[in-house]
């Protein structure tokens, strides 16, 4: 399975850059940080979904709270068969449904996100509703680490453990950076694991780019749920897979210039012609 997931990642990194370049928008480094996590969720036998019936009642719910990583989610959903690549190539063009941040107009998207901090509370409502209905589906929420500076994140965290929402899995993409610098220098959130444990979470950490690790921590038996709600801290690299922008300053939400694009294409292991024909 790992080789299959690696192949998907190589292909989707190229497509993330392609869409950013065509649409002159999007957040490529934040998307690359989260890409391996999303690939594992959708192709690692974690999420239950139906691309022909995106609103199937038994589906697991996934919420991308860090909505600026939409390019990663769009490409994963496209690869999973929710819509066609030709449609996705309208990204950030006039009249498109594929904006810089996701909305429920797009097949496979549960709700609009992008205003940071709100997605976890959205997940709380979905998971609580499922508990009350005795529904078996799970809710996965992916937040950023900088997003954990938002007060509403901690209100949601308190609600998750208060209502014993062990059917909600909170994933934190911990790449250590935010728009204006390193998180440790802007507003330190550490020790994040100890804080979440104090709230009552079962906290696990893993390498957010290792598929074996990801499958191990993300897989939950919905018919034998853990006693405590799970929070998963995944250590990632912003811009993963492209050395030019890996863990670099000034790449948050920026479209590369042509000189940078040529370097990126080379680092992605394809020719300019191959890139243009994607």
Task: Give the model's confidence band at 1: pLDDT under 50 very low, under 70 low, under 90 confident, else very high.
Answer: confident
Q: pLDDT tens digits for 103-133? A: 999 999 999 999 999 999 999 999 999 999 9
Q: What is the Cα–Cα distance from 226 to 215, expressed in whole angstroms?
A: 16
User: What are the chain's domains?
Assistant: 1-105+116-277 (3.40.50.970)
Q: Does the pLDDT value for residue 255 go beyond 80?
A: yes
The pairing of beta strand 177-178 with beta strand 181-182: antiparallel
Reading the block at residue 93, the tokens are 């063009």
Reading the block at residue 87, the tokens are 């449609």
Of 224, 174, 182, nearest in space to 203 by CA? 174
Q: What is the Cα–Cα distance from 14 to 274, expressed in whole angstroms?
A: 10
232 DSSP β-pair partners: 171, 204
Reading the block at residue 232, the tokens are 């998963």
Task: Give the model's confidence band at 152: pLDDT under 50 very low, under 70 low, under 90 confident, else very high.
Answer: very high
Task: Give the model's confidence band at 81: pLDDT under 50 very low, under 70 low, under 90 confident, else very high.
Answer: very high
Average pLDDT, the chain: 97
């Amino acid at each position: 399975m790992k080789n299959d997931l690696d192949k998907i990642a190589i292909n989707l990194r190229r497509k993330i850059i392609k869409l950013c370049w065509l649409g002159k928008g999007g957040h490529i480094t934040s998307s690359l940080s989260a890409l391996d996590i999303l690939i594992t969720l959708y192709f690692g036998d974690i999420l239950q979904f139906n691309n022909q019936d995106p609103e199937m009642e038994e589906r697991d719910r996934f919420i991308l709270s860090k909505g600026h990583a939409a390019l990663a989610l769009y490409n994963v959903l496209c690869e999973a068969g929710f819509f066609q690549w030709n449609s996705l190539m309208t990204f950030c063009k006039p009249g498109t449904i594929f904006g810089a941040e996701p909305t429920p107009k797009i097949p496979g998207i549960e709700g609009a996100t992008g205003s940071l901090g709100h997605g976890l509370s959205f997940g709380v409502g979905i998971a609580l509703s499922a508990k009350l209905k005795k529904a078996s589906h799970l809710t996965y929420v992916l937040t950023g680490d900088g997003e954990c500076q938002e007060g509403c994140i901690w209100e949601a965290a308190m609600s998750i453990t208060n209502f014993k929402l062990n059917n909600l899995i909170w994933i934190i993409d911990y790449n250590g950076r935010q728009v204006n610098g390193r998180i440790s220098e802007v507003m330190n959130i550490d020790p994040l694991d100890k804080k979440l444990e104090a709230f009552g979470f079962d906290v696990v950490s893993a390498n957010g780019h290792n598929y074996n690790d990801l499958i191990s921590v993300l897989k939950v038996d919905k018919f034998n749920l853990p006693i405590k709600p799970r929070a998963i801290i995944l250590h990632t690299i912003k811009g993963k897979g492209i050395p030019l922008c890996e863990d670099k300053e000034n790449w948050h939400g920026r479209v590369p210039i042509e000189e940078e694009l040529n370097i990126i294409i080379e680092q992605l292991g394809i020719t300019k012609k191959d890139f243009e024909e994607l």
